[in-house]
Structure 1
Amino acid sequence: MLPDLLRASAFRPSRYKIALQPRHPATRFVSCLTRNPPPPPPSTISKMVHPLMQSHTHLMSTPHLTPNILHREYAAKAGDDQQNNFMGKELGFFSEAGFDMDRVHLKRNAPVAQLYEDAIRYEGAVLSSTGALINFSGKKTGRSPKDKRIVYEPESKDHIWWGSVNIKMDEHTFEITRERAIDYLNTRDLVYVFDGYAGWDPRYRIKVRVICARAYHALFMNNMLIRPTEEELKDFEPDFTIYNAGQFPANRFTKGMSSPTSVEINFKRMEMVILGTEYAGEMKKGVFSVMHYLQPVKFGQLSLHSSANVGKDNGDVTLFFGLSGTGKTTLSADPRRDLIGDDEHVWSDTGVFNIEGGCYAKCINLSAEKEPEIFSAIRFGSILENVVYNPNTRSPDYDDVSITENTRCAYPIEFIPNARIPCVVNTQPRNIIMLTCDAFGVLPPVSKLTPAQASYHFLAGYTSKTPGTEDGVLEPVPTFSTCYSAPFIVLHPSRYASMLAERMAQHNVDCWLVNTGWVRGKFGSGAGTRCPLKVTRRIVDAIHDGTLRDADFRTFEPGTFGLEIPTAIEGVPTELLDPKEAWADKVAFGREVRKLAVMFGKAFKLYEDEVTDDVRAAGPQAP
């Protein structure tokens, strides 16, 4: 049966010899290509026997058993409403890309309910008691930044910040992996297509096409991109295309490959290829990387890894910078303010707009009391990713991290009651809040930054990677992520930093450094604890209502950090405002201050030659 199937699918076995190596057993390879029995019932992938989620053999090789209603011959009899919903020129796009249009059925912008049905029937997804769909991403439950590649080609090579973040790939290797991805998609009876926009401002948005083999991935991008109208779909021609063949591994013996996972972007072709990972966040961050390139280079606007909200009464805009796990989503979801977006924005000449059409919130320890807006958004249409559930009630267990600590929910931004739709404001920001998760526990809960300090800390991007956000991160790891977005940055950091400084000066923006990490001690010390969310919320409230701007300040650690901290904030314990006062062991505190100051100095050496003397002197000074 296998040879006949390979011939029928135009599959090229010679290109996939790696799949027959011990790392990818032949039995698993065959199961990807043959029509196996349906996956086990949902109860077998519940928390009672969830180790299946870790090996994930069933879900990684799930066949798409296509019912008759989806077959092309049946669709032809059923009428135009069953067709691929593509015009001739659009079908030409797929034929030219290498798709076998006589075999593969394309589902374009399928309804949410239909994607639910397919994910449950073919992928082992589960309908939760909240109405959200629980999906599993297999072995990879976080991003794989070490497997990210950018194609080295004439049009973009002089703009890219090459190095450990943006690793070079030659054009020929990209063509090989691209064809590998399309060949895999050609073995599927059913391929999903989602066409949507990135960017709410029509002047600066791009059209994105996602082509994938899992209903889970199609629904995810339906939630994360901006959903077009039927009229907009009629003339939709993509500016950027994602080929997601994540169920199939990359050939690790191909030039430049380091593992069976590969995430590649080609700015010349405006394409992205994903192999060897089913983690949906790779698509989201791929689009962000493209916008991080296009906004400054093509449009002259500043792309930022940030959340943003706006006051309902006075229209004041706040930008929250920070890496995953620092609180961007949580703190920007404020019932007293309208949400512009929770993760990716562009600061334009006329205001601020969201890049995305949805939110991708962390679910670990989620509760209605702590985060009511996010909790309420988990309903029909939302995706719960890698969340354990009760097999009897189908209730999600947000405290169970036995699959991963990086449990997530992706939902359309309209699910937040106070979301600003469309997600764009023609108002310049009044406040910037730089969020850091300090695992050493020595940074104050809030500091007011001078313009030079703001530039320094933006370039340094100090924080801690929190568990689960990247593959293999199991505890907080101090790191310096320039522009608070190193994994997604494309241009040299100084380019973003100079644009930020210009805009802050032009619009007289206040900048604050807020530590959502540890207080009273370092991580793992026994004395240190994560800063209570209610304390951070009270600090943010004081920024928004203007009381913190007018507060009295004093200098924290003038010989090293030299940060201005408030002497009092109503509702915040005074001893927390000065970390030295909060630590019981003052000697240990001094030791950690010096250690962190030295780390800052070493990390900033990368940018010393690109900044002015006042910015260089604004950072922590090691004794």
Structure 2
Amino acid sequence: MDYDQKMLSKAGKVNYNLPVAVLAERTLLAGEGMLTASGALRVATGKYTGRSPNDKFVADSPATNGEIDWGNNKPISADKFARLYERMLDYAAGRELYVFDGFAGSGGERIAVRFINELAWQNLFVHQLFVRPDAPPADPRPDFTVICLPGFKADPARDGTNSEAFIILDFAARLVLIGGSQYAGEMKKSVFTYINYLMPKKGILSMHCSANIGAKGDTALFFGLSGTGKTTLSADPGRRLIGDDEHCWHDGGIFNVEGGCYAKCIKLKHETEPQIWEAIRFGAVLENVVVDEATREADFDSEAITENTRAAYPVDYIPGAVIPGVGGHPKTIVFLTADAFGVLPPVAKLSPEQAMYHFLSGYTSKLAGTERGITAPEATFSSCFGAPFLPLSPLAYAKLLGEKIAAHGTGVFLINTGWSGGPYGVGKRMSLPYTRAIVTAAIEGALDEVGYELDPVFNVQVPVSCPGVPAEVLKPRQTWADKAAYDKTAAELAARFVKNFVKFGKDVPPEITAAGPRG
């Protein structure tokens, strides 16, 4: 069934692939947003200011039932999916809709994605976030369709959802339905979830990571959940940005899934993140940022609406960005974690077995606002640093990562961008200049030339020195005033690692299990 054509045939008016200026104008005329002093559009997304994982489902189709990791994905019957689609058709009848035809993937494996929106600003968002075609596609039929109608609200008793909001993917139909929530990140992550379903079946590793490349052609990847620093740390003036969030690794190297960036901008300052600051101009979309009504100046320090304020802009708004977004096989991989306990070392060099362990563990802290209901950092384990977006077993992605690291001799580091000197509420967030210095040292090979000491609790090798970073910062125990409290907290976190890893059972080789913390 051509789900997109059926819906568009019901619409009162369809706007196809409008340019940025027209979409911005339509946004303003419809009262969907306001123009800020920098030229960016500012919009508000209502009560949904982050992803809503409890409202995300996968249609339980007979064609894909045996492939899906149902322990990590909530099923909804194919019949309920079909009935909800029919109700959305009725809602769309006579309405004005916006269509953007773009691509997911900058390399040869890209897929054609069609977005159907009722809000002009959301159509601008996907226009800027995904790969834009150079010309109208010869074949307008998409590989995947996203229908996003926030004004349509589900009836949980009737539709089988958990609330009025829903994000439902049907992999067999190659379709996602979104309603009830205006948060644009749901569209972005739905496409990524489909990529995570499709690519591993082709032997391609899809990854929740940012990527950049140095003057010598050395590619680096930065894994991590939202808020851990992927966008900030990959936007390095000394390196060229490939992409800030989603990539694939195939036989020819890596490629960016997207054509834009979706940066957290709470506490954004020009002096610390100049590239992101300067990218917030005409064509960019600001979500839920407080703006002065008189001056139209954005207040990036304000959390009055949410801590999860966002800026969406094309990747080529970053000076020197790699277009198209492709790079060679990674020389260095960085796993970013925001440790709310404040006990993980700022940097550790990982063996291949430790890299597999920490990839499967995916430890970090969910930061306030990135998901609905999260108001303070919350310790979590998210397999492959992206469990909410993995339709297949985490072991499928881990196996591919292990094979590619081994084939290309990639070095792996674990870097903590979280707290130092104590847990959240007591210690302080790791200094960004220190973190940047650590990342630079890891990527440029400076950490290959220093001595290391074993952390007896977390079982990782910690460098004794790093250019630009005080030696005592590298050993988190030395930054705590209460050493006994550190020992207790570190032991508790190590035990959490061990408890979490039990779920993988005997499917993981014993040498990988043994590479973890001493719980």
Shorter-chain TM-score bucket reads: over 0.9
Measure how far apart 1:242 and its partner are.
Answer: 0.9
Q: Is the 8 A contact 1:432 1:510 kept in 2?
A: yes
1:94 to 1:459, Cα distance in 2 relative to 1, 3 A: closer
Give the 3 Å change call, closer, same or farther, for CA 348–385 of structure 1 in structure 2. same
Matched, 1:183 2:90: yes
Identify the residue that residue 89 of structure 1 maps to in structure 2. none
The residue number in structure 1 matching 2:300 is 398
2:370 paired with 1:461:
no
Partner of 1:207: 112
Counterpart secondary structure, 2:518: coil
Residue of structure 2 in register with 1:289 after alignment: 193
CA distance in 2 between partners of 1:333 and 1:124 (Å): 30
Cα distance, 1:109–1:591 mapped onto 2, change above 3 Å = same
The answer to whether the aligner puts 1:274 opposite 2:182 as a matched pair is no
Partner Cα distance (1:100, 1:494) in 2: 42
2:394 maps to a residue whose letter is: P
1:261 paired residue number: 165
Separation in 2 of the partners of 1:307 and 1:449? 19
**TM-superposition CA deviations, 1:374-414 (whole Å, max 9, x none):** 00000011001111111111011101110111100000011
- Correspondence 1:316 to 2:215: no
Corresponding residue to 1:193 among 99, 114, 128:
99
CA deviation after TM superposition for structure 1 residue 155, in Å: 2.1
| Distance (Å, rounded) in 1 between the aligned partners of 2:147 and 2:181 | 12
Aligned to 1:173: 80
Structure 1 counterpart of 2:150, one-letter code: G
- C-alpha separation in 1, matches of 2:466 and 2:256: 31
For 2:8 and 2:479, the matched residues in 1 are separated by 62
1:104 aligns with 2:23: no
Deviation at 1:99, TM superposition (A): 4.1
Partner of 1:218: 123
For 2:70, which of 162, 168, 183 is the aligned residue? 162
2:252 aligned partner: 350
Residue aligning to 1:480: 381
> Counterparts of 1:535 and 1:578 in 2: how far apart (Å)?
13
2:37 corresponds to which letter in structure 1?
S
Q: Would you say 1:303 and 2:206 are equivalent positions?
A: yes
User: Aligned partners of 1:509 and 1:98: how far apart in 2?
Assistant: 47
* Correspondence 1:540 to 2:439: yes
2:26 aligned with 1:118, yes or no? yes
Letter in 2 for 1:182: L
1:504 aligned onto 2:412: no
Q: Report which structure shows greater RCO (CA 8 Å, sep ≥6).
A: 2
- Which amino acid in 2 is paired with 1:116? A
Q: How far apart, CA to CA, are the structure 2 residues paired with 1:503 and 1:487?
A: 23
Say if 2:265 and 2:309, in contact at 8 Å, map to a contact too: yes
Q: Which amino acid aligns with 2:404?
A: R
Distance 1:151 1:365 in 2: 39
Q: How does 1:396-435 map to 2 (within 5 A)?
A: 396-425=298-327, 427-435=328-336
Q: Alpha-carbon deviations, 1:84-129, whole Å to 9, x = none?
A: xxxxxxxx9578524445x611001111111111111113310001
The two structures have a TM-score, normalised by structure 2, of 0.98
Deviation at 1:550, TM superposition (A): 1.7
TM-score normalised per structure 1: 0.82
Q: Match of 1:18?
A: none
Contact 1:209 1:241 (C-alpha < 8 Å) held by counterparts: yes
| Partner SS state of residue 605, structure 1 | helix
Of 435, 438, 449, the residue aligned with 2:350 is 449
Residue in 1 aligned with 2:281?
A: 379
The residue matched to 1:607 in structure 2 has which SS?
helix
Alignment partners' CA distance in 1, 2:19 and 2:7: 26
Cα RMSD of the aligned pairs, angstroms, is 1.3
Q: Does 1:145 align with 2:57?
A: no
Question: What is the CA–CA distance in structure 1 between the aligned matches of 2:342 and 2:2, rounded to whole Å?
Answer: 54
The 8 Å contact of residues 181 and 243 in structure 1, kept in 2 or not, is answered as: no
The question of whether the paired residues in 1 share the 8 Å contact of 2:167 and 2:179 is answered with yes
By how many angstroms is 1:187 displaced?
4.3
Aligned partner of 1:462: which letter? Y
User: How many residues are aligned here?
Assistant: 519
Bigger-Rg structure (1/2) = 1
Structure 2 unaligned spans of 5+: none
Any idea what the Cα deviations from partners look like across 1:201-231, whole Å, max 9, x if unmatched?
A: 12x111000001000110000011101122x
Alignment partners' CA distance in 1, 2:7 and 2:248: 35
Contact 2:84 2:159 in 1 (8 A): no
Task: State the distance in 1 between where 2:366 and 2:31 align.
Answer: 31
Deviation at 1:153, TM superposition (A): 1.4
